[in-house]
Chains A and B, each alone.
Chain A
């Protein structure tokens, strides 16, 4: 398995760069991933989405559906893609340290 190094710590990730364990997440991990997903700087709007995803995941054990994400954060899907160019799954969920979305992708 691959590792990334953030603040001198080794953190385990899968082939697609997703955290294997959501508890190893930190804000610096999100900043580290941001560069890979085409984001220069994490703004307040980015953090709002990231925090929402983490809260939802720890409450319900899954990532929210896209419509739920948009409704609850107030961002349109277009707005989400402006924040996270690789989309809510590959972009936002990865930055939030959630497990990799699966299924017929």
Chain B
């Protein structure tokens, strides 16, 4: 083991109350030369105020086109143990529920062949193993995918279906309108081929939230956002409402006046909700979770197009299917997804996200391709300009 290099700038970050990543890396460095050199290179980056990783890197395992992100140091002579520092994405279990057995197995493999450093979890959801060498990749993959109990597969990377993720869902949340965990697992299995073998113009992400609180931020961070909702009446336990008020809860100030559609009223004894005008924003249910529950006719709203700024500006998903029933085997959803991907793959330019393609070719082309009728819920407001295209067959000739 090389002698620990001095890291005065990083040492500052061991102070303060928040758990320190520097402490974590130092702990790993006790048994891991690459964690040791990572600290050294990071200290150099703090001094130079720039990254010391080279551009790109293309490595992987047999049979897959993604799942591993290659990375090389640009100062390998100073830090030979991070000359190669590849990242492996392991597909996480739905909702990030683990047994200690599952985690111990991964740790054992990773201590043996990797840096010992991890990220739990990457923003897309994967269990991320940070830092190993090219010749270890296949061995690591072979071992984690052959655990007798709780084997792991790789997650997605590249121009493919990325690892789907979902909120904690019905496992521990009374708001969850759909079985987010089962749906996430089912879609991951159904579309393994799209996940492991990049074939599309660019990446595509699916995220699933059990309700509009959207605890996995699906609307902002996935191309296909699936959010649980309901379409009948909110269930009110009037006795529990009165209990809240009796305990000093300001129902008028915190609930009634905050309702975005002003569809609620409280007469001092009874809470009334005009459900036809409720947009299911969750606020009243969040505030009085002991008294209010989502309705029984449950399903999901599907939104499309969420993405980060590059190239055409950041987008949040917008409604494409206001309500869809979601029960196994989720045939309707899968058919819809296949149609979206087929159209995008056929028409998309290199590195064009599906949301950008819809902007470029227009909603009318997209809706026709996926067999959907336009509905008012798809827009916030009608167009403000008159530059409207008609399909040739719609124009009546005199």
A-side residues, CB < 8 A to B, are 15-16, 18, 38, 62, 65-67, 70, 77-78, 81, 85-90, 100-105
Contact A15 B84 (CB under 8 A): yes
Given contacts A65-B350, A66-B159, A67-B346, contact A105 B56 (CB under 8 A): yes
Contact of A87 among B56, B64, B70, B346 (CB under 8 A): B64
Contact among A18, A62, A85 with B62 in the assembled complex (CB-CB below 8 Å)? A85
**A-contacting residues, B196-239, CB 8 Å:** 197-201, 203
List chain B positions with a Cβ less than 8 A from chain A.
54-60, 62-66, 69-70, 72, 84, 157-159, 193, 197-201, 203, 345-346, 350-351
Complex contact A87–B60 (CB within 8 A): yes
The answer on a CB contact under 8 Å between A16 and B197 is no
Q: Choose from A65, A77, A81, A104 the contact partner of B63 (Cβ within 8 Å).
A: A81
Instruction: Find A105's partner among B63, B157, B346 (CB 8 Å cutoff).
Output: B157
Q: Is the interface of B mostly helix, strand, loop or mixed?
A: loop
B315 CB to closest chain A CB (Å) equals: 17
**Cβ A90 vs Cβ B203 within 8 A:** no
Contacting pair A15 B54 (CB below 8 A):
yes
Q: Which of B58, B62, B345 contacts A16 (CB 8 A)?
A: B58
- Minimum CB–CB distance from B30 to chain A (whole Å) comes to 28
Assess whether A89 is in contact with B58, with CB atoms less than 8 Å apart: yes
Closest to B84 in A: A15
Sample of 18 A–B contacts (CB below 8 Å): A16-B58, A38-B62, A62-B350, A65-B350, A66-B199, A67-B199, A78-B193, A81-B197, A86-B62, A89-B58, A90-B58, A90-B60, A101-B58, A102-B55, A103-B351, A104-B158, A105-B57, A105-B66
Instruction: Write out the residue numbers on chain B whose beta carbons fall within 8 Å of the beta carbon of A78.
Output: 193
In the assembled complex, how far is the CB of residue B321 from the closest CB belonging to chain A, in whole angstroms? 26
A62 to B203, CA, bound (A): 19
Q: Which residues of B contact A103 (CB under 8 A)?
A: 159, 351
Asked whether B201 lies within 8 Å of A65 as measured between CB atoms, the reply is yes
In whole angstroms, what is the CA distance A16 to B199 when docked? 21
CB of B65 within 8 A of CB of A90, answer yes
Give the Cβ gap from B74 to chain A, nearest Cβ, in Å.
Answer: 11
Interchain CB contact under 8 A, A85 and B57: no
Could you tell me the distance between the alpha carbons of A102 and B351 in the complex, rounded to whole angstroms? Answer: 11
Residues of B with C-beta under 8 A to A86: 60, 62-63, 65
Given contacts A66-B200, A81-B63, 19 further A-B contacts (CB under 8 A): A15-B70, A16-B59, A18-B58, A38-B62, A66-B159, A67-B199, A67-B200, A86-B60, A86-B62, A87-B60, A87-B197, A89-B58, A89-B158, A90-B65, A100-B58, A104-B158, A104-B203, A105-B157, A105-B158
Chain B residues whose C-beta falls within 8 Å of the C-beta of A89 in the assembled complex? 58, 65, 158, 198
Q: Which residues of A contact B66 (CB under 8 A)?
A: 105
Q: How far is the CA of A57 from the CA of B266 in the complex (A)?
A: 70
Measured CB to CB, the closest approach of chain A to B203, in angstroms, equals: 7
CA A66 – CA B346 in complex, angstroms?
A: 11
CB of B16, distance to nearest CB on chain A (Å): 33
